[in-house]
Amino acid sequence: MADDAKTTAQQAILEGIAKAAEELEKHSGPAQASGLKELAEAYAWVTFPSQPH
């Protein structure tokens, strides 16, 4: 993955994490928590693609 594409993906995922965290504070529930976990895993995969996630 090219560095600029990686950085763009990381930034988009981080923005999604921030929005999901705000929603989790307002409306806590399993669906919101699951979505936040999936975004965190996506960030880990983009940041460290060679490691198992």
For the chain, domain boundaries: 3-47
CB atoms within 10 A of CB 12: 14
Residues 4-49 have pLDDT tens digits of: 999 999 999 999 999 988 888 888 788 888 888 999 999 999 999 8
pTM above 0.85, yes or no: no
Task: Give the whole-angstrom CA distance, residue 6 versus residue 33.
Answer: 25
Torsion of CA 28, 32, 37, 42, to 10 degrees: -150
**Phi and psi, residue 41, nearest 5°:** -65, -40
